[in-house]
Amino acid sequence: MFMNDYIVGLVDGEGSFTVYIYNPSKTDIRKRRVRIEPKFYIKLIGKDKSILDEIKKYFNCGNIYFQKDNRKNHQNCYRFEVTKREDLEKIIIPFFKKNRLKFPSKIKDFKIFCEIVEKIKKGKHLTNTGLSNLHKLKQKMH
């Protein structure tokens, strides 16, 4: 139970539930191949990478990436990231439904994230209209 509470607290402070959604109403040329990509991640400074290693082991999914930051007064970071839809649906979302987040803004983002993942599962992202509706929904996230 301690590990669950620890992860919830860490995600409340340093985690994110987000979705990249291509806006079909844009006329510019897409630079990314994907039209929609839900993503859960936790980002920590480099010296705390071992915590992300433990979380990756705990969830048994996702990857850890190095993130260089050249901005003044910023440090290089690592991100534990889960983008595989099956892992989001079967591991990450059930974990946070059972182990509730505390921050209202994070709770709101998680609810919208779950709604978007469910709509993707139903194929709502496969038309421009559906993608546009998902894009509008994503705009309500933090």
What b/e string do you get for 39-67 counting C-beta neighbours within 10 Å, with b at 16 or more?
A: bbbbbbeeebbebbeebbeebebbebeee
pLDDT at 65 over 80: yes
Mean pLDDT of 41-58: 95
Reference 19, options 123, 91, 103, 117; nearest CA is 117
142 close to 109: Cβ distance less than 8 angstroms = yes
Give the pLDDT confidence score for residue 34 in this predicted structure: 62
Domain holding 129, by residue range, is 2-138
Give the pLDDT confidence score for residue 5 in this predicted structure: 95
Give the pLDDT confidence score for residue 62 in this predicted structure: 98
Amino acid letter for position 105: S
* CB atoms inside a 10 Å sphere around CB 18: 18
Give bridge partners of residue 17 from the DSSP assignment.
40
Mean pLDDT of 10-34: 78
Tally of structural domains, the chain: 1
Rounded Cα–Cα distance for residues 17 and 114 (Å): 9
* CB atoms inside a 10 Å sphere around CB 98: 8
Rounded Cα–Cα distance for residues 32 and 49 (Å): 28
Residue 98: strand, helix, or coil: helix
- Residues recorded for the chain: 142
Give the pLDDT confidence score for residue 69 in this predicted structure: 76
- Tell me, what CATH number does 12's domain have? 3.10.28.10
Reference 85, options 110, 43, 118; nearest CA is 118
pLDDT at 33 over 70: no
